[in-house]
Structures are given as structure tokens and as C-alpha cells.
A and B are shown apart, each in its own frame.
Chain A
Amino acid sequence: DAGITQSPRHKVTETGTPVTLRCHQTENHRYMYWYRQDPGHGLRLIHYSYGVKDTDKGEVSDGYSVSRSKTEDFLLTLESATSSQTSVYFCAISESVSLAGSNEQFFGPGTRLTVL
């Protein structure tokens, strides 16, 4: 299994509070991604990173920010959590991307976040 850990695994917080989720990898993969999983929507991309300090927005980036100061860590921050951000959050990593390659992404175990 790819070495990806997420912390915390479960969190309950209140509306308006800041929350930071951490993704840590031991694979030295270049690309990292944050997704959220909601019923009826599958997984949707929030932000992704293509290197240290290089990040970009995904489909549902509003209300979220990210940072990647080291290859192994990718942080997702909710500056002021809202109930609509209650979800399961998955981190993923990929070694390389190309048109010809398989571009396989490996997923972490997920973080269940509840915003009351």
C-alpha cells in the first residue's frame, strides 16, 4: 500500500472555526490532491499540488486553501468552517502525469469532518 496518512481521521467542529487537515506521504510523489466525497456527487477535486509551493484550484475550491511547504505534506485549511463543508475528505498522490501514462492516483484513508 502507498504510504499515505491523513490526520485527524475524525473531527467535529463548530461553524466559524478554522480547521486544518493534514496529508502526509512517504512515497516522495510529486503530485498531491484533496477531494471531498458527498453522497450523489462521487469525489470532487478541491485543490491540487504539482510541487512544493505549487498549487492550483480544483472544481470546488471556494472556502478552502492549501499549502505545501514540503514534498511529503499537503495541508487543507477551512478558514471558517460551514455546515456545507461537512464531508469526507480524501487525499491522493501521484508520482507523475503524462498523456501516455496511467497517471494512477493512490488514496489515503480519509478524514470525516462534521461541522455543527
Chain B
Amino acid sequence: GNSVTQMEGPVTLSEEAFLTINCTYTATGYPSLFWYVQYPGEGLQLLLKATKADDKGSNKGFEATYRKETTSFHLEKGSVQVSDSAVYFCALASGSARQLTFGSGTQLTVLP
């Protein structure tokens, strides 16, 4: 079956540090890949997405590249801010209704 494995947290960084959150996946067919972000007390928001191999998704300074050869979709940001503190979820969409399979989430805390 499908699965998503995320780097375990929590991750604590200082402001302006470089961020990498690793994500690898197992899936049949041609999944789409996503990063969602959840701020405290809120629902999930789509951060970025990629629908085919070698696509790069980007938003708000975050980037991730769909690497089919390594089955990975690592999230990166060059300079994090305190406002980036949240839980980040990697996910893939597959199946007839493109159901999402999520990783376990990575808690990021950015200190001033």
C-alpha cells in the first residue's frame, strides 16, 4: 500500500537558519505530492504541490522537488522565520478519488 515517511521532530531552529524536512514515499502508479502546514489550533493549509517527476513546488520561500528516482519530496527553506513555526505534513494523493496519505507530521519551532 501507499505510505509516507517523514523526518521525526520536533525540529528547533534559530531565525534565518536553513530548513530541511525529509519526506520519502511508497506508492503505486503516479501520485501527486504535497506539503501541508498546520498552525496551532487550525486546520491544514496547502503549502505547495508537485504532480509529476522533477516538478518543483514552491510557495512563501519553501521549495520541494518531486524526485521519482529516490522517491522523495524534501521540504526546504533558506531562511526560516518565527512565523514559520507550525506542523508540516508531507502527503501523496492516489487512488480513484485521489485520497491523501499523510506522513506523521514534523513540528517546527523557530526561535527569535
Contacts and interface: CB of A to CB of B under 8 A. Distances in A.
Contacts, number: 67
B45 A102 contact: no
A92 B32 CA distance: 17
Interface of B: 4, 6, 29-30, 32, 34, 36, 42-46, 49, 51, 89, 91, 93, 96-105
Contact of A43 (B42, B45, B46, B100): B100
Interface stretch (A62-70, A75-83, A107-115): A107-115
Contacts of A74: none
Interface string A7-23: 00000000000000000
B93 A108 contact: no
B99 A104 contact: no
Given A41-B104, A107-B44, A94 B98 contact: yes
